[in-house]
Amino acid sequence: MNQNFSTVAQRSPSALATNKVLRNTYMLLSMTLLFSGLTAAISMFMNMPPMTYLISVIGGMVIAMFVLPRFANSPAGIAIVFLITGMLGFGLGPILSLYASLPNGGNIITLSLGGTGVIFLGLSGYVLTTRKDFSFLGGFLMVGFLLVLLAAVANIFLAIPALSLMISAVVIMIMSGFILHDTSRIIQGGETNYVMATIGLYMTIFNIFISLLQILGIMGGDD
Amino acid sequence: MDWMKIVSAIALVMFIVFLFPRARDMMKNSPKGSSSDWMGFAIPIVIIVLFIMLLVKLV
């Protein structure tokens, strides 16, 4: 009995810490998504040129890779997450304006947004209910992601629509895998920093949304 | 527009170079998944593929 009690007492702090990381991650994630939506709307309103997307993505990635890890354990980390997600949202503005100008554009944007939400919530719910450990996916996902990036580099110059469609589909699969992997890392206690957890999940959502836009934009332009 | 293609390609290549050591480490250090683990990954992915096909039908 005593032994059981002490086991519960030992487990509780780690379970509480995990729940706290998860709760903080989802809270920061929802705030950054709202902030991105706001900056995207501002960018659309300002009619920013298409190159804004490229500059924002490169800037956001550089800050996420080189600056954020240094400040991840300090309050400045939260401000940097808002800076990155705000930049990425701002970069989305011209892309959304482009899709909105298509005959079926409003429908494509709405379906992409809704689809991204369903995929993220579905996969997160799946990990949180089954509590499966997806850490075995790490290497597989990273190698898959590198191969997709190589294909994307080739397609910048080849500009083959079928390859572009294939890349977008594979990116959605890989990002879905990252949602499973990252969420399971949080609940298994492998990720204890909610700032880093938030930026990881935000990137997966961002990539799924962009890829869905591209797939629905290409496939929806048939009629 | 060509300069945008070149900048995009350079950015992607630099991203690949940056990620490569991390990918190698993850390949070496990731635990091996059992067949049931892989099934637990494959099933939601198949559902997502079907869901995307449904979205394409809805556009």
How many whole angstroms from its chain centre is CA A7? 36
pLDDT at A14 over 80: no
pLDDT at A103: 86
The pLDDT of residue A6 is above 70: no
pLDDT at A183: 96
Chain mean position to CA A99: 20
Average pLDDT over residues B27-45: 92
Cβ-Cβ contacts under 8 Å between A and B: the total is 114
Residue B30's pLDDT is what? 84
**CA dihedral over B14, B19, A71, A38, signed as positive or negative:** positive
pLDDT at res. A221: 62
- Out of B5, B48, B49, name the one closest to residue A156 (CB): B5
**How large is the average pLDDT for residues B37-41?**
94
Q: Measured between alpha carbons, how far is A171 from A196 in angstroms, rounded to an integer? A: 21
Q: Do B30 and A130 touch (CB under 8 A)?
A: no
Phi then psi dihedrals of residue A75, to 5 deg: -60, -25
What dihedral angle (degrees, nearest 10) is formed by the CA atoms of A93, A201, A127, A185? 170
| Paired tokens of B22 | 């991390």
Q: What's residue A217's pLDDT?
A: 93
Q: What is the largest CA-CA distance in chain B?
A: 48
**Residue A74 identity:** S
The mean predicted confidence, pLDDT, of chain A is 91
The pLDDT value given to residue A189: 87
- Phi first, then psi: what are they for A47, rounded to 5°? 55, 55
| pLDDT at residue A5 in the model | 47
Ordered DSSP codes for A153-200: HHHHHH--HHHHHHHHHHHHHHHHHHHHHHHHHHHTTS---HHHHHHH
- Chain B residues whose C-beta sits inside 8 Å of any chain A C-beta: 4-5, 7-9, 11-13, 15-16, 18-20, 22-23, 26-33, 37, 40-41, 44-45, 47-49, 51-52, 55-56, 58-59
pLDDT tens column, A79-102: 999 999 999 999 999 999 999 998
Q: Is A62 near chain B, with CB under 8 Å?
A: no
Q: What is the pLDDT of residues A41-55, one digit of tens each?
A: 999 999 999 899 999
Tell me the per-residue pLDDT of A199-218, one tens digit each, with 9 for 90 and over.
999 999 999 999 999 999 98
Residue B58 has pLDDT above 80, yes or no: yes
d(Cα A166, Cα A81) in Å, to the nearest integer? 30
User: Which token pair is A90?
Assistant: 């701002």
Contact B47 A122 (CB under 8 A): yes
Q: Is the separation of the CB atoms in A25 and A194 below 8 Å?
A: yes
Q: Compute the average pLDDT of residues B14-36.
A: 90
pLDDT of B43 reads 96
Say what the pTM is: 0.91
Residue A4 has pLDDT above 70, yes or no: no
CA-CA distance, A130 to A136, in Å (whole number)? 16
pLDDT digits (tens, 9 = 90+) for A158-189: 989 999 999 999 999 999 999 999 999 999 98
The shortest CB-CB distance from A152 to any of B12, B20, B51 is to B12
Q: What's the pLDDT at B48? A: 96
Q: What pLDDT was estimated at residue A90?
A: 97
